[in-house]
Structure 1
Amino acid sequence: MMRPERMLVMLPGPTNVPERVVRAMLKPVMGHRGPEFRELHERIIENAKYVFQTEGDVFVLTCSGTGGVSCALENLLKPGDKAVVAVSGVFGERMAETARRRGAEVLEVPVEWGKAPTPEEVEGALKDDVKAFCLIYNETSTGAKARDLKVLCELAKDHGALVVVDAVSILGGDELPVDEWGIDVCVTGSQKCLACPPGLALISVSEDAWKTIEENPSRPFYFDLIRAREFWEERQETPFTPAIPLFYALDEALTMIREEGLRARIERHARCARAFYSAVEAMGLEVFPRPEFRSNTVIAVKVPSGVDSRRLREIMKEEYGVLVAGGMGKIRNLVIRIGCMGIISAREVILTLTALGNALNNLGHENDVGAALRAARRELGLARG
């Protein structure tokens, strides 16, 4: 069995963590009610605002990305409130279920898997009494991105709805100017495009969202954003004990993003995504989403007929040391998913494509690995001959 420390983790989260970030977690644990933590926390929030492209409030929660989405909906929605949720995959289904368990009246906008919601599909569901419009910007289960997000935000605002965006698998890897696009609450996770270990969620909150949260008498206890705001404003602390080693890691990961520059980081993700898509098509494989919906951070590729998805992934892992994910939900056995996020570079792209092509050949599905790698190198600016 391949040892984890030798594995190239090409999952759509968690992803490979830079050595700098790993080393940061080796620092001694500090008290979370002292000046050292406050200094750390202030630096994290400042850099997080840079990545969110917001002047609003940002909070770091000790939980998963799903916990962050729960925090958003439980602070904004009261039982009986109406919420429109675009559902185009597993994580859209989870978002709708989270709102429903909150007691909200949920109107789902069903979207074909592999596609993303369009303004035409959403407009009919938005009414003037809708409290929130909720969607997944980048559906991790299908590799489809809502490229009309800016227009969808404008449409929701025109109807007086707050906009809640799950950006767990895309923030820091693609364009998402939270303030410019009018997003009221945006959630991401530490373990994907931020290239940090799992265990933290980050959430941004607009002024309009605060007005609704302040009027909500049934806010949650642990995820109470009013309490989080009070602790931040009064003492730059968190209400409850944070995962301090993960805060060290997040601090280093965000510092690395500032050093690279957000624009350069987004372009790097886009360049690597183009390389993946060009290469898998050169192999004769089919990408699950159509070109207009393809994500730059999650590459979903259909498994060829006659090839067992689980066996394909096992060979990539055991023989080539590359870990990719299978599908989820109703496309569990239909696709494999490759994470194109975090510290993704030409090296990871080439190694993953080599493993994929060779594993397919091992299973009797012949393809031209050389042609695929040449296609990838062209997109990466590494073309030879």
Structure 2
Amino acid sequence: MMSERKIIMVPGPVNYEPSVLRELSTPTPSHMSLDFAKAFKKAMEKLRELLNVDGKVFILAGGGTLAMEVAAVNVLNRNSKALVVSTGVFGDRFADLLTSYGVNVVKLSCKWGEAASLDDVKALLEAEGCDALFLTHVDTSTSVLNNVKELCRVAKDMGCLTVVDGVAATGGIEENMAGWGIDVLVTASQKALGVPPGLAIIALSDDALQLLRSNDRRLPCYYASLHNWLPIVESFEQGVPAYFSTPPVNLIQALSVSLELIFEEGLKKVYERHALVGKAFREALKKIGLKLIPVSEEICAPTLTAVWYPDGVVDREFRGLLSSLGVVVAGGLGPYSERYFRIGHMGRVGFTDIVSTIAAVEIALSKCGFEVKLGEGVAAAQDLLLKAGLTPLFY
């Protein structure tokens, strides 16, 4: 019996490059070996270059939520007052996380599908006297893209610490920590970085690093304490193994390989490719007659697209039909979880993935009773991609 290959189009985990899979399948070396130290050092160097950060990068066993928690407990204390900008489920998660540690939280909840207003953020920072700003670059639940560059600039001008959740953006959208005034950026391996789940990544600017060193009233933690990890990172930066807790060796080696692929393609081309693929999906979905969750094109993320279901289309039935056609997309999250679906188009998504996914969406919608002119969405995507030129943007 032939095994069925699924096209995985969820917003993480993603499809992996053969060289990344090969690296994952190699025998696991000692975490104290020089070979592993070399790979760890390379991964940290590439991440610093990717994020343009002048401080340190920490790579821990864990996921995006752990990275969020690590960021909070190391640079805040119980006297901190943080403004959390929420554009979806993961902005809410930041607020819940900080509240659980006793931090004074002011939450700006944007309407579903809307991005944060610069004026609203500035006004709240001033009125509430906040000393930190927490926000998502892209909220994976809504596919809303925040203007991190301008929001962080305003916060820094007001003397605030800035913390950005880059999980659904890093590796697919530019993130310039030094240039944009981002003090802490958290991300994870399983999205545009192109590595299986299991790595929590925390990048600190030099300012945040100095705050870490001097924060005697930091929130209590042990594994998540970057004070415990700092000497380990500094040792691996010199290519010398060190131990605090056993790292996920194969995942870090795979991350080193995946980052090398990103830089071989070139950051500009990587970001252009993600933008083009995202636009192709949006044009196709709108041509089919679907409505996107982000309320304007300017705040649509290049890495994933969240789409409202038409009246009468049932989530379980629609996604079940898609799966039977060999395509897997994600359901919704949060208060509207049954009313929309999400397509991930981050990492190495190529022409075949795009066209196959759109064709499957058309067929599944048609079988669910929604009137679709089969092929119109596919044609819209093809037209855009052909005009842009398929090479060298596709694999």
* Aligned position for 1:305: 311
Q: Which residue is 1:8 aligned to?
A: 7
How far is 1:13 from its partner? 0.9
Q: Which residue pairs with 2:290 in the alignment? A: 285
Structure 2: unaligned runs, 5 residues or longer? 390-395
| Contact residue 111 and residue 117 of structure 1 kept, 8 A | yes
What number of residue pairs does the alignment pair up? 381
Aligned to 2:39: 40
Q: Provide the rounded CA distance (Å) in 2 between the counterparts of 1:298 and 1:234.
A: 37
- Return the offset for 1:383: 9.2
Q: Which residue of 2 aligns with 1:134?
A: 134
CA distance in 1, matches of 2:54, 2:355: 38
Provide the C-alpha distance between the structure 1 equivalents of 2:331 and 2:314, rounded to a whole number of angstroms: 11
What is the distance in 1 between the residues matched to 2:236 and 2:307? 48
CA contact (8 A) 2:112 2:293 kept: no
For residues 333 and 243 of structure 2, the distance between their equivalents in structure 1, rounded to whole angstroms, comes to 34
How many Å separate the matches in 1 of 2:348 and 2:356?
14
The match for 2:148 is 149
User: Where do residues 9-88 of structure 1 align in structure 2 (5 Å cutoff)?
Assistant: 9-88=8-87
Query: What is the SS of the residue equivalent to 2:119?
Result: helix
Q: Is the 8 A contact 2:143 2:300 kept in 1?
A: yes
Question: What TM-score do the two structures reach when normalised by structure 2?
Answer: 0.92
Corresponding residue to 2:323 among 314, 317, 325: 317
CA RMSD, 1 decimal: 1.8
Check if 1:215 corresponds to 2:214: yes
Change in Cα spacing, 1:112 to 1:71, as seen in structure 2 (3 Å) is same
**Runs of 4+ with deviation above 3 angstroms:** 234-238
After superposition, where does 1:321-332 map in structure 2 within 5 Å?
A: 321-332=326-337
The TM-score, its normalising length taken from structure 1, stands at 0.95
Identity of aligned residues (%): 36
Match of 1:295 in 2: 301
The Cα of 1:377 is off from its aligned counterpart by 0.8
Q: Hey, what does 1:99 align to over in structure 2?
A: 98
- Aligned match of 2:368 in 363, 372, 375? 363
Cα distance change of structure 1 residues 289 and 79 upon mapping to structure 2, 3 Å threshold: same
Distance in 1 (CA, whole Å) between partners of 2:74 and 2:92 is: 19
Whether the aligned pair in 2 keeps the contact of 1:53 and 1:178 (CA below 8 Å) is: yes
- CA drift at 1:56: 2.4
Contact 1:77/1:102, CA 8 A, preserved across alignment: no
1:195 matched to 2:201: no
For residue 274 of structure 2, what is the aligned residue in structure 1?
269
Question: Is the Cα contact below 8 Å between 1:282 and 1:368 reproduced in 2?
Answer: no
Equivalent residue, structure 2, for 1:353: 358
Name the SS for the 1:227 alignment partner: helix
Structure 1 residue 2 displacement after superposition: 10
Mark the CA change 1:197 to 1:2 in structure 2 (over 3 Å): closer, same or farther. farther
The structural deviation recorded for 1:253 is: 0.9
CA contact (8 A) 1:130 1:160 kept: no
- Give the SS at the match of 1:11: coil
1:201 and 1:284 mapped to 2: Cα distance? 38
